[in-house]
Amino acid sequence: MALREIRKINDEILRKKSRKVDSVDERIRILLDDMVDTMHENMGAGLAAVQVGILKRLIVIDIEDEHGILKIVNPEIIETFGTDIKSEGCLSVPGINGDVIRPKKLVLVGLNENGEEIRVEAQDLLARAICHEVDHLDGILFVDKIEE
């Protein structure tokens, strides 16, 4: 188990665009495991690699439902359905919560930690977590989207 330091909102790396992963190798798997450990240690529901200072398109999510721990390489949201507004927070933005509009349902494609193609159909909290983490890969923070 290895914990990594979580970058906070004033760190400009959080505003950068992450790059696609070319090959899912042992180094990527170790990073994904470290991201999961760091997320759990800080009681988060999701984490993007940029939040530990690495500009690669990797996200991990654990909302403690039947999907278990998701580790996704090069995630891409290919379809969305409906809208839903709920409060969000972020480990990179401690102490702040705010309502954000997200899709009610979505379809995500990407690769798992073995480099195999996966497809995830998500709704409600999982859909919200996926959107939040994928936004991180494009330098977007939830505070950019808070409804007044």
List of residues contacting Co ion (CB under 5 A): 90
Minimum Å distance from CB 8 to Co ion?
A: 11
Q: Which CB sits closer to Co ion, 115 or 143?
A: 143
Maximal C-alpha separation, the chain = 44
Phi/psi-derived region of residue 22, left when phi > 0, alpha when psi is between -120 and 50, beta in every other case: alpha
Least distance between Co ion and beta carbon 139 (Å): 12
- Residue where the block lists tokens 């009610």: 104
Strand partners, 128: none
CB closer to Co ion out of 105 and 145? 145
Our answer to whether residue 133 is catalytic in this structure is: yes
Residue placing its CB nearer to Co ion in the complex, 90 or 111: 90
Structure tokens at 48: 């993007």
Question: Across the strands, what pairs with 110?
Answer: 118
Nearest distance, CB of residue 6 and Co ion, angstroms: 9
Q: Give residue number: closest CB to Co ion.
A: 90
Catalytic residue among 116, 121, 133, 148: 133
Instruction: Return the closest-CA partner of residue 91 out of 3, 17, 7.
Output: 7
List residues with catalytic annotation. Answer: 133
